[in-house]
Structure 1
Amino acid sequence: MKKVSIILGIMAGIGISAQSSTLVINNYSGYDAAGRFMTVGSAGSGSSQPLMYALPNAPYSTYTIPAGGYTKYDKFDNTGGSNPIPIPGWWYIDPLNSANNGNYPYNHPIITAVTPVDEWMGFAFSLTDSTGYSYDTFEVGDPVLSGGFLSSSQTGPNTGSSADWFTITTPGGLVTYFQIY
């Protein structure tokens, strides 16, 4: 019985310290998606949890998913490096200690520390062409995590493109998808 209790305790600890979903991004459209990509504390955690915005990825001046782009993020602190669409760092906002607010590289200990409590929240973006001209704007994400994201699916009136944000349960755990068609 003691071994079972120890194993259950270890499993619970692993579950508590793990971010609850992997994020998969697919941009099947012919437009770049440029905007603010955000994370926030998990549902029910209140306003005391950190909030983060993805920093711009080169060569763009905002966080951008290029036309035809694909990427997968398992954790906030491994979004940079050799990732197909790297997030080089995060703008971190700590409601409990404003001295912590600021830009941090993706692999900084403060970003690693937020991984157990933050979730992928949403993306407020515009579909743009190669000249930067904006055609449609979207705000899609998890409405449970933020009232600002009233929808997990939208269609652009000018391009007819659609953006969808949804989470599924797989044998390996939760996977959140963000897709543009």
Structure 2
Amino acid sequence: MFVLSTLFAHPAVRVKQLAVLAVLCFMVLPAVADDDARLQGRIEAALILSESLNGYVFEVAVSDQRVVISGAVTNENERRVILQVARSVAGDLEVESDVELSTAQPATTDAMVAQRTLLQGWHRAQLEAELRREFAESSALDGLNINIDIQDDTLILTGTVSSELERMVANQLGQNLDSIQVVNNQLTVEE
């Protein structure tokens, strides 16, 4: 099962403390874990963040270039979504589903909501850091005066830039981000 769900089950643990813990884990994890564990964590996070799988708990196992997902869902469409999400993260690896069909509806606990909120915040922070890096690496853009806000699949850019070219470059870099469907470019050009 997901490690974070165990942590959230303890009533004395606050979400803010877990956010710090999760960020530290994600920073340290690549340095100490093997490829299978990193892939397992990425698949688990993608399943938690999937809107259509809200409330379900899955077990993900990765070994020998093979991913196996087990758990229970209420219909075949949800089972297909699980495979699509896992394959989008796993790339060329074989993904197998041991997910059963069940008549029981998923339970959404406070811990699951908190876990989802934490992962969404981490995902937004990761996207923002990626975009800030792109801004810094762009020779056509001085991104210091650009504010970034990410809400679901929408990127909102505010602030000032020195030219229309910078405004267009910032917009294009935002559109290139994974998970971003809409760029609301509110950047103004300094006169």
TM-score by length of 2: 0.26
Structure with the largest fraction of strand: 1
Structure with the largest fraction of helix: 2
TM-score by length of 1: 0.27
Higher relative contact order (CA 8 A, sep 6+): 1
Higher Cα Rg, which structure: 2
